[in-house]
Amino acid sequence: MNFKRILFISLLITIKYTAFSQVDASSKKNFWENVKYGGRVNLGFSNRSTNIVLAPAAIYQFNPKVAAGGSISFGYSNFRDANVKQFNYGTSAIFMYNPLRELQLSAELEQTFVNRTFELPGRDEKDSFNFPAFYLGAGYRLGNISVGFRYDVLFNEDRSIYNSAITPFVGVFF
């Protein structure tokens, strides 16, 4: 059994036993009181490229440790050496687990669609494609803000718009 499969099964077992272990029927709240809005911003800059992603999100806080929701994302990338510009958009399902108040673990399944333009002498070439990503992340949480890194388990250098499977993130939820 490979490492990814063991990690995935461990995550599912953890979710099963923490999501429903502390249900208190006397403290039922209105659904909308448990919904939090926010999202994340990813920024990447270098001498050769610029990458900006904005991803507004909404999550439902099941209890102080477990939350799940969804997100949409919009991004722009510019690779100066190759004269390539691309716009991307996507949607994702998010799961967050806080074993400690300051530690946030996350899993995010994302589908991204990309429209790319190659600026060639005398003409422009256009290309469209999509790719899935499954991120496992860890971050330091201080109040409503979390900062950390996430790793794309499905990363494929030939299909992804990112240079690496590891990306930093800043997330905010209110």
25-34, 67-76, 107-116: segment of lowest average pLDDT: 25-34
3-state secondary structure at position 159: coil
pTM greater than 0.85: no
- Written as one letter, the residue type at 147 is V
Tens of pLDDT, residue by residue over 131-157, are 999 999 999 999 999 999 999 999 998
> Which spans in the chain are helix H?
3-19
Give strand pairing partners of 157. none
Query: Which numeric CATH code is attached to 37-173?
Result: 2.40.160.20
Residue 2 is encoded by which pair of tokens?
A: 């490979």
